Structures are given as structure tokens and as C-alpha cells.
Amino acid sequence: MRAQASVVLDHHLAECGGAVAGTVRWHGNGRRQRVGVVLRYRTEGRGDVDTDVVAAVELGDADAGESRFRLDVPPLGPVTYNGRLLRLLWVVAVQIPANRSFLGTAAAADLTVVPNGWLR
């Protein structure tokens, strides 16, 4: 059986230099692999697709569990952008096994990152 997970964000909007928080639930981790949550962005467009993990936290290796998390958004962004030639998208993803370079995802939630000061 493959491990399954879900992620629920407190808010789907975050500022540069702010934080994103939420709750992760998982079960079926019979191999006891490390469970982690990452904040990453990816670019899409007519050129190369690029992705980068900017924050990560490990939640342990329990077979099943529920945990709160908080990840910091970089102060300089980049901000979410959805243009004709380029898109920059943010996602919070649960990864089993937890590995910053592994892009496999057990669950994910989209996030919009805006410039600092926009939410005041």
C-alpha cells in the first residue's frame, strides 16, 4: 500500500517575507519513510521549466499522523505571476520520503505569493 496524505493551508495567500501554515495528515507509511512538507515554486512558459524548494520541514516517520507546520516565504519572493509567456506558481507539498531534491508529491496545495505589504 502506498502512503497517502492531505494538506490543508490556513490561508492560500502569503506575503514575501511572511509565512504559510497549515495541517498535514498522512497514513499508510508502512515503510516508515520520513514525511516532509516543502514550499516550492516552479516556472512554466515557452522556455525551460524550473523548480526550486525554498523551505522544508520534516514531520517524522510514523505510519500515520497529523501535524501542524509553518514555512517561511523568502523576503524577495518571487511573487506569483500568471502571464501569457511565463507563469510562476507556488505550491506546498507533502513528500514521502522527505527529500529536498525529490519532487514526488503525496499531496499538494496551491499558494499565491504577493509582495510584502499587500495584505495590510
Other beta carbons within 10 angstroms of residue 92's beta carbon come to: 26
The domain that contains 85 carries what CATH number?
2.60.40.640
- Is 64 among the domain residues? yes
Sign of the CA dihedral 33, 37, 39, 45? positive
Residue type, 106: A
- Is 119 among the domain residues? no
What domain range includes position 43?
4-114
Domain count for the chain: 1
- Is 45 among the domain residues? yes
How large a percentage of the chain has pLDDT more than 90?
71
- Is 120 among the domain residues? no
Burial label, 84 (beta-carbon count in 10 A; 0-12, 13-18, 19+): exposed
pLDDT digits (tens, 9 = 90+) for 10-62: 999 999 999 999 999 999 988 898 999 999 999 998 777 888 999 999 999 99
